[in-house]
Amino acid sequence: MSKNDRVVDFANYIINNNATIRKTAIFFGYSKSTVHNDIQKKLKKINVNLYMHVKNVLQNNFLEKHLRGGESTRQKYLKLNKKNKI
């Protein structure tokens, strides 16, 4: 697999799964830095249209991250509350 193939695979995974950089890195077994650099620097040179699509998905994830974090915290305390009642 060439580096260009890897970058395109990262991009397609992000688009198809509405994935974050972190989830993509875990799925492929690479560091977050590698995925981020490949998407931000290399993908733009390989395929601009694909880059713009990935950029939109990542921007949307960025705008929603506080909601996911809040829901995660809510679930954590609901779980703790149930344990304390038992």
- Greatest alpha-carbon pair distance for the chain in Å reads 57
pTM attached to this predicted model:
0.74
Q: What is the pLDDT of residues 14-56, one digit of tens each?
A: 999 999 999 999 999 999 999 999 999 999 999 999 999 999 9
**Residue 86 has what pLDDT?**
62
Q: How far apart are CA 84 and CA 17, in angstroms?
A: 36
Cα–Cα distance measured from residue 39 to residue 10, given in angstroms and rounded to the nearest whole number: 8
Provide φ and ψ at 63, rounded to 5°. Answer: -70, -25
* Residue 38 DSSP label: I
pLDDT, tens only, 54-84:
999 999 988 876 667 777 788 888 888 877 7
- Asked if residue 26 lies in contact with residue 68, where contact means CB atoms within 8 angstroms, the answer is no
